[in-house]
Chains A and B, each alone.
Chain A
Amino acid sequence: MLAQLKNIPVRDGVKIALLFGLSGYFLWNILTENLSNYINTRFGWLSWVAVALFFAMGVVNLLPYLRKKSDAPTPFIQTNSVMPNGWSVMLICAIPLALGTLIPSKPLGVESLTGTLNTNVSVSKTTVITRDPLKRNILDWLRAFGLEADKTRFNGVEAEFSGFIYRNPEFTEGQFMVGRFIVSCCTADADPVGLPVYSLAAEDLAEGQWVTVRGKFTVGEFRDSITPILQAEIVTPIEQPKNSYLYP
């Protein structure tokens, strides 16, 4: 079989390698759960489709070279290549594989921000927040704030949520935000959101550090609007979770 593989023209060999490589790359992302760094996990099944189709395409491109000489590719098969893919095409199609393997897989974080964290998310009239307050994430709280016209109703409400620390020169001493990225489809639409938190205990923690904060809301002024601010009693540094995005 090795002898037969040696007969594969270089360009076809590269093409076959790319197809198997892309199949393997998608499979690796699924198995290592790195997929959640890139897309909403709801669409993870699509990557299984990619694994299967890339693999099948690799096999059908390899098959003619594995046959015995008498079964060598027929002229029909050799001429059915509608588009003889050139080296430039191969080079471009290798980019995802090269970036995916050479650059360590990492979710978007505070260093990815091109602006600030949003404190408004859209809520429809039918949105209902049923989750227990102590189990709500940042998105749940922002939705709850959006649904309630009278923000003072959140005074004294206890909450606990996790995210990365975001600081801004405009913030006062002890003030910071805890943020997450919301991903609807993939990282292309990642929207950074966050909640304002007050705690002097977090002053030593670096921006981008993941924390769980627990405390009570008090309504106050933040970035020129009246909004609930968490007065954190406990700030616990945590490891960044494997799946760090929130999904609407």
Chain B
Amino acid sequence: MENTGSIRKTAITVGILALIAIFLYTLLDVGTTGANPQDRISTFTTRFLGIFIEAAPFLLLGSLFSGLIEVYVSREDLFRVLPKNPILATIAGAFMGLAFPVCECGVVPVTRRLFTKGLPMSVGIAFMLAAPVMNPIVFVSTFIAFGWTEIIVLRFVVTAIVAISIGLIFATVARPHETLLPISFAPVRGGNHGALSPKSTQKSLFSSLYRACRVASDEFFEMGRFLIIGSLLAAWMQTRVSQQDLISIGSGVVLSVLAMQALAFVLSLCSTVDAFLALSFLNTFTTGSLVAFLTFGPMVDIKSAMMFAGVFKKKIVAYLVILPFLMTLLVGILINIWMMR
């Protein structure tokens, strides 16, 4: 038994080392004439740090929210606020971003914290997928970029429909222990009952904030590793594949949507500012593809998909990537067909 475990551990280590070797080999373009490894490293680092520096403050704010929820929100509070009907609760989940205005980096730690408080699976999924769009900051940035046009309406409507639909799918088939990693639905490790009824343990504002900050720092490290791995992958993709290559794949009803979904996934932009980039594609891309970019990207991109892995089991992470991809693809195509009529 011990031997099997040791072999497994060695295999994982060898696998990780092999992946790192492939990563470095392709990044540095070893063996390609004319490639300058120094420039490639510099470009890769600039792109990686660009994503990290932009995303880290949002993850910190999300972690802080998570800490404050841990300290100030009890299971009873949560169930008092949420509708009893599971369908209504899932719909409410999709709009919870109005109360917790977080982007796709911040929403994952907040969702995980809410799961530890007993938030139903469907509500948490709908919240996690919708909140990066369904919040006042994103509404303002999308409005500044596009004005009062069909794009802004479709962005919010499509996000709500997709998030609620996926939430309801999980409501019918998923149970927390089959879906979440143990750490995401267990109360605070160490048998601290304060996690369930934190109010009883509170002494002062200072000690509450102190504890929130401690939890936030743990949360930052736990989620930050996934953000960093996702950012490394996104930067690697951007160093290898140009935006123009991705865009050149797509014209037409279907391919334009696929191209913009691929772009959203690879770029891993913050949902609070992605509307400004989408604006630059306004005249060159179909409306359906822009809507897919503005809805799929905030739900799933390389870094958020990595962060899902810190909350959900692997199979569920795959569903959480594939379902929004297929649904926003379908919606994008339908919008394109409708606009062509």
Nearest CB on A from B315, distance (A): 22
- Hey, which chain A residues are within 8 Å of B281, CB to CB? 122
Flag the segment in A87-95, A152-160, A169-177, A194-202 that touches B: A87-95
Verify if B32 is at the interface (C-beta below 8 Å from A).
no
Among the listed A78, A81, A189, which residue makes an inter-chain contact with B267, where contact means beta carbons less than 8 Å apart? A189
Residue of A nearest to B248 (CB): A115
Residue of B nearest to A116 (CB): B244
Whether the pair A82, B228 counts as a contact (CB closer than 8 A) is: no
Interface size class, chain A:
35 or more
Whether the pair B43, A111 counts as a contact (CB closer than 8 A) is: yes
- Hey, which chain A residues are within 8 Å of B155, CB to CB? none
Verify if A15 is at the interface (C-beta below 8 Å from B).
yes
Verify if A26 is at the interface (C-beta below 8 Å from B).
yes
Verify if B33 is at the interface (C-beta below 8 Å from A).
no
Q: Give CA–CA (A60, B67) in the complex, Å.
A: 13
* Contact residues, A203-244 vs B (CB, 8 A): none
- Hey, which chain B residues are within 8 Å of A63, CB to CB? 210
- Hey, which chain B residues are within 8 Å of A53, CB to CB? 57, 60-61, 64, 216
Known contacts A80-B188, A81-B218, A92-B229; is-contact A114 B279 (Cβ 8 Å): no
Flag the segment in A1-9, A100-108, A128-136 that touches B: A100-108
Whether the pair B188, A43 counts as a contact (CB closer than 8 A) is: no
Known contacts A39-B50, A112-B46; is-contact A80 B211 (Cβ 8 Å): yes
Among the listed A22, A49, A57, which residue makes an inter-chain contact with B61, where contact means beta carbons less than 8 Å apart? A49
Q: Please indicate which of the listed interface residues A15, A104, A187 has the most CB atoms of chain B within 10 Å of its own CB.
A: A187
Q: Give CA–CA (A118, B39) in the complex, Å.
A: 21
Among the listed B191, B222, B279, which residue makes an inter-chain contact with A124, where contact means beta carbons less than 8 Å apart? B279
- Hey, which chain A residues are within 8 Å of B241, CB to CB? 114
Question: Using a CB–CB distance below 8 Å, which chain A residues touch chain B?
Answer: 15, 19, 22, 26, 29, 35, 37-40, 43, 46-47, 49-50, 53-54, 56-57, 60-61, 63, 76-85, 88-90, 92-93, 95-96, 99-100, 103-108, 111-116, 118, 120-124, 126, 146, 182, 184-191, 248
Question: Using a CB–CB distance below 8 Å, which chain B residues touch chain A?
Answer: 36, 39, 41-43, 45-54, 56-58, 60-61, 64, 70, 116, 147, 183, 188-192, 194, 201, 210-211, 213-222, 224-225, 228-229, 232, 234-235, 238-245, 267-270, 273-274, 276-277, 279-284
Q: A53-B60, A57-B217, A107-B46 are in contact. List 16 more A-B contacts (CB 8 A).
A: A15-B217, A35-B53, A46-B57, A80-B214, A82-B116, A82-B188, A85-B221, A95-B232, A106-B42, A112-B43, A114-B238, A120-B284, A122-B283, A186-B51, A187-B51, A191-B280
